[in-house]
Amino acid sequence: MIVSNWKMNGTKADIELWINEVSNKIEYKTEVNCVICPPSCYLDSTRSFITKINSPVQLGSQEIDSTHQGALTGGINGQMLNDFSTEFVLIGHSEQRHYLNEDGVSLRAKLDSAIDSGISVIFCIGEPSEVYSNGDTKNFLTNQLDILNSEDLANITIAYEPIWAIGTGLSAKTTYIEDTHGFIKNHLKKILNNKKVSVVYGGSVKLNNAEEILSSDSVDGLLIGGASLDSETFSKIYNLS
């Protein structure tokens, strides 16, 4: 899985151009999902662009709310996402954990909302710099993972994004990524009774480090932020997978 997270960037015209160019440039593999997560206001347009050219690109949302309906200004629920044939949703990204004060209770509710709606989850976890510096990453990630259960993990991909690497230009060393991904997978095996869960990496992924990161057997894909806005760069990274 190679995911483009647009965050709060781009216009409708930018997304249409990106969809057209990426669809022509990638060497699409059915076993490697190619996903775009545009701003929520462009979900409908993005679905139309994908459908218009029968693109292999799949649609993901950056957000889902835990309530199915009601008085939540600016909310977007699973039914709305299904109207756009949204296939994936990001939950637990560090920016939302920080700015929206999301905790285990609220994230669990979002997970339930997505899974009940039949939308696959990309569940983001990652440690801040102080936890990394203190060597306490694994305990921190364990706490983030422990809201998951065996009933829903079949519908979840884990995205490991060390917070100290997001948007900083600093990417974790390959050996550190391998060790951390291995820990995540082994921890989840205890919950899953040895079923496999994919773990993708994010955190200042660029064209010059993507191939090395993807070369690790423990890395099942990438979640890419700023670098993915350029269709040429994203396509080249996808073709490395």
In DSSP notation, 130-177 reads HHHHTT-HHHHHHHHHTT--TTTGGGEEEEE--GGGTTTS----HHHH
Calpha distance 108→145 (Å, rounded): 11
Pairing of strands 199-202, 2-5: unpaired
Instruction: Tell me the per-residue pLDDT of 123-145, one tens digit each, with 9 for 90 and over.
Output: 999 999 999 999 999 999 999 99
pLDDT of residue 72: 81
Statement: residue 68 has pLDDT above 70 = no
Q: Which three-class secondary structure string do you get for 173-237? A: CHHHHHHHHHHHHHHHHHHHCCCCCCEEEECCCCHHHHHHHHCCCCCCCEEECHHHHCHHHHHHH
Residue 167 has pLDDT above 80, yes or no: no
Task: Kindly report the average pLDDT of the chain as a whole number.
Answer: 93
Helix (H) / strand (E) containing 4: strand 2-5
pLDDT tens by residue, 191-220:
777 678 899 999 889 999 999 999 999 999
Q: Cα-flanking dihedrals φ and ψ of residue 112, to 5°?
A: -60, -40
Kind plus residue range of the DSSP H or E element containing 35: strand 34-37
Segment 170-191 mean pLDDT? 90
Helices (H), 28-93: 43-52, 78-83
232: left (phi over 0), alpha (psi -120 to 50) or beta: alpha
In this structure, which amino acid lies at residue 178?
Answer: E
The answer, as to whether pTM is greater than 0.85, is: yes
How far CA 237 is from CA of 24, 199, 216, 241, in Å, comes to 14, 17, 15, 7
Catalytic residues: 93, 161
Structural domains of the chain in order of their starting residue, each with its CATH number: 2-240 (3.20.20.70)
Give the integer Cα–Cα distance in Å for 121 and 37: 12
- What type of residue sits at position 210? A
Q: How many CB atoms lie within 10 A of CB 163?
A: 21
